[in-house]
Amino acid sequence: WARFPYSTEIERYTGIQWPEVTPPDGMDLPTERAWLAEARLKWVQENLGTLTGAMLSQRYKARELDQ
C-alpha cells in the first residue's frame, strides 16, 4: 500500500499515521504522485519493525473481515 500515496490502508491496519511530507514545488501530478510513493515506501522500510508490531498487536476480529 505504500506505493499508493493517497491510500490509508497502512494507517488503518497499524493505527500509525503517515508523516507529513511536502513534495518539492513545480512537479506535475504524475511526478508528484511518484515522489510521494517513493517517500512513503522509504518511510515504511525504515519503520517496518514498528509497523509490523503495531499490526500484530491489533486484536483479530473475524466478523469485521466478513463485512
* Size (the chain), residues: 67
Helix%, strand%, coil% for the chain, nearest 5: 60, 0, 40
Within the chain, how many helices (H) and strands (E) appear? 4, 0
pTM of the model: 0.70
10-26 confidence digits (pLDDT tens): 888 888 888 888 999 99
Residue 28, pLDDT > 90, answer yes
Identify the residue with better confidence: 9 or 26.
26
